[in-house]
Structure 1
Amino acid sequence: MFFRPGTTRIPFKTGKRARKRNGYPQRIELHPATDSHARAATEAYADSCASEMPWLAEWLRDSGAGGNVGLTHCASTVRRVFGLAQEWAAREPDYAHAAWEHVRLHLEAALTAHLRSKDTGDDVVALNGVQA
């Protein structure tokens, strides 16, 4: 997997002619240095392959592609998975809605603080007024 300036763009150029498909998947190149979605995808891939290919996960996280100096590039994934976990927990008899909402509030604060620190260029994340 190489991360180079690419030749394939998404969405593909559309023209009067239909694109020829030769049965092989198109090569799609990610640009983590300029695309926050590419950084999120790289982080998610590193998390996914960590158990089977720890060397690749480590390389992705250490490379400029991963570049994860803070909490996460995948805030939307964190929110989605937390929502699923809360839905599953709500089916149980000992579900405590207030406790889950308390955790959601702090999780959202951490993700928001991380996004703000990335926007300002700071690598330090402030949680509840305390810098970590």
Structure 2
Amino acid sequence: MFFRPGTTRIPFKTGKHRRRRSGYPQRVELDPATDSHARAATEAYADSCASEMPWLAEWLRDSAAGGNAGLTHCASTVRRVFGLAQEWAAREPDYAHAAWEHVRLHLEAALTAHLRSKKSSDDDVVSLNGAQA
């Protein structure tokens, strides 16, 4: 795998025609320094490859964080996975709804606090409802 710093705007500027696909593989380069979605994608890729390529995961996390590592750039993924885990647990006979909701509240508080701290230093942070801040 070869990684090189650089940027290609994704999505492309609105109003432009869709790019034609050639038979050749295309390379997409993300810019985690300015794009919150690129930071989230880079973090997710780092998590995915961590067991097989820990050196790459570490490098990706460092590049996504820009030297400012924090809780996560993938708050929506954390919420989605927590919801799936709660649904799975709800099918078990020893499910404790109050305990899961207690954890959900604290998880939301941690994610919200992290997003607020990022918002003060980054105007492109996605708010909790998914809209641009």
The 1:14–1:25 alpha-carbon spacing in structure 2 relative to 1, beyond 3 Å, is: farther
What do the CA deviations read for 1:99-120 (whole angstroms, capped 9, x no partner)?
A: 0000000000000000011435
Distance 2:81 2:21 in 1: 35
Deviates more, 1:65-74 or 1:34-43: 65-74
TM-score (norm 2): 0.75
Q: What is the count of residue pairs matched by the alignment? A: 132
Distance 1:8 1:41 in 2: 14
TM-score (norm 1): 0.76
Deviation at 1:128, TM superposition (A): 22
* Aligned sequence identity (%): 90
Task: Name stretches of at least 5 consecutive residues in structure 1 with no aligned partner.
Answer: none
Distance 1:25 1:104 in 2: 42
What do the CA deviations read for 1:22-51 (whole angstroms, capped 9, x no partner)?
A: 233332111111001111111111000000
Alpha carbons 2:35, 2:124 under 8 Å: kept: no
The 1:70–1:120 alpha-carbon spacing in structure 2 relative to 1, beyond 3 Å, is: same
The structure having more radius of gyration, on CA atoms, is: 1
The 1:81–1:58 alpha-carbon spacing in structure 2 relative to 1, beyond 3 Å, is: same
Distance 2:74 2:88 in 1: 21
Segments of 4+ in structure 1 off by > 2 A? 1-26, 62-68, 118-132
Deviation at 1:13, TM superposition (A): 6.2
Deviation at 1:61, TM superposition (A): 1.6
Deviation at 1:97, TM superposition (A): 0.4
Alpha carbons 1:49, 1:57 under 8 Å: kept: yes
Distance 1:106 1:56 in 2: 31
Alpha carbons 1:46, 1:56 under 8 Å: kept: yes
The 1:18–1:103 alpha-carbon spacing in structure 2 relative to 1, beyond 3 Å, is: closer
The 1:124–1:42 alpha-carbon spacing in structure 2 relative to 1, beyond 3 Å, is: closer
